[in-house]
Amino acid sequence: MLFDASKLIEIDKLGDERGLLTVIEENITVPFEIKRVFYIYETKSGVRRGFHAHFKTRQALICVSGSCKVYLDNIKRKKDVLLDSPNKVLILEPNDWHEMYDFSSDCVLLVLASHLYDAEDYIRDYNKFLEVYS
């Protein structure tokens, strides 16, 4: 299976004297149709969440308030990404094992997803992840 590498993109801050506005459009800013939107907030201090990859779902993660970090592992490379601005968009591919951590108390992590929720689309066992994507 071939997937693009995850990407951190910085999108335009459209601003005037009233403040800022940032736009995300499907198939333009994010490389997929947006089927689902959810957000993670009021995360307790020290919590680490995620710990999975997907079979199909592509996602875009944006900290619309506060900050958090995302640990990524696609077997070929492992890295940590800081999301600390509403104009930073992290595009995750299905084969990106991801863990979110270091949530600030005001963090609102917005997630745009390419598929509707399906518990069967999750790979939550790391050995299974290695089996599927190695």
CB of 81 to ligand T46, least distance (A): 12
Question: Token pair of 64, please?
Answer: 């619309």
Q: What is the spatial distance between Cα 24 and Cα 58, in angstroms, rounded to a whole number? A: 15
Using CB under 6 A as the binding rule, whether residue 50 contacts ligand T46 is answered as yes
Which DSSP category does 42 fall into?
Answer: S
Using CB under 6 A as the binding rule, whether residue 69 contacts ligand T46 is answered as no
Residue span binding ligand T46 (CB under 6 A) among the ranges 2-10, 25-33, 34-42, 73-81: 34-42
Using CB under 6 A as the binding rule, whether residue 59 contacts ligand T46 is answered as yes
Catalytic residue status for 98: no
Q: What is the spatial distance between Cα 9 and Cα 53, in angstroms, rounded to a whole number? A: 20
Using CB under 6 A as the binding rule, whether residue 111 contacts ligand T46 is answered as yes
Calculate the dihedral angle through the C-alpha atoms of 55, 44, 48, 94, rounding to the nearest 10 degrees.
20
Using CB under 6 A as the binding rule, whether residue 38 contacts ligand T46 is answered as yes
Query: What b/e readout covers 105-124, taking b as 16+ CB neighbours within 10 angstroms?
Result: eebbbbbbbbbeeeeebebe
Using CB under 6 A as the binding rule, whether residue 41 contacts ligand T46 is answered as no
| Among candidate residues 63, 54, 44, 42, the one with its CA nearest the CA of residue 110 | 63
CB of 55 to ligand T46, least distance (A): 11
Question: Looking at 30, 40, 60, 108, which residue binds ligand T46 (CB under 6 A)?
Answer: 40
Using CB under 6 A as the binding rule, whether residue 24 contacts ligand T46 is answered as no
Residues binding ligand T46 (CB under 6 A): 36, 38, 40, 49-50, 59, 111, 117
